[in-house]
Amino acid sequence: MPRETTEAKADRTRQLIARLRQTYPDAHCELNHSSPLELLVATILSAQCTDQRVNLVTAALFRRYRSAADYADAPLAELEEAIKSTGFFRNKAKNIQACCRTLVERHGGEVPRTMAELTQLAGVGRKTANVVLGNAFGLEEGVVVDTHVGRLAQRLGLTAETDAEKIEPALTKLVPREQWTLFSHWLIWHGRRRCQARKPDCAGCEVREMCPRVGVKAAA
């Protein structure tokens, strides 16, 4: 198969965006939240955990802890117990508490609005920062690269990179900045609803004719 030119890939990306937008017009962050702090905590909890499980946990968690100071002052064992079913709960509880103590000490208890400040918080990398900036503040600073986005970016032939830190700049070069947040939602929704890792529904796929199906067995 001939190597795709940069121009051809950009054109195909535009077609993908148009089709995904049509397919998932209501795509949005599926972590329940009503404030930047709630989204920050939920995103930290979502590491290696489903959004559905996180939402079950945060329904009670957000009633108990309403401010950064609440998390900062909570007994660590109590916080661990509250988030236990999300997995890796000891490390997550430690990060959430350290993160919220920094919010109280340096930011007046408020979630900052810059990538540099967010990534200085415990438990917060570029992915989490992008989730918060894009969905809580409407700031397009990057593309969220979770497992679905990384997997589909490769399967769709948008990049051959496998590391999230390299996948993100590859995608930001192809996708218009004003669509960075939505693009991640479209890929996440497509990955969950149609293009699963082991059994992609290629026959019913809305973007099949634009997809080289990299790494997908011919029988799929």
The C-alpha atoms of residue 33 and residue 147 are separated, in whole angstroms, by 21
Catalytic residue among 127, 166, 201, 217: 127
DSSP string across 200-219: ---TT-TTGGG---TT--TT
127 tagged catalytic = yes
Catalytic residue among 9, 26, 94, 146: 146
Residues 153 and 172 sit within 8 Å (Cβ to Cβ): no
The C-alpha atoms of residue 108 and residue 127 are separated, in whole angstroms, by 24
Token pair recorded at residue 120: 């200085």
SS (H, E, C) 76-128: HHHHHHHHHHHCCHHHHHHHHHHHHHHHHHHHCCCCCCCHHHHCCCCCCCHHH
Residues assigned a catalytic role: 127, 146
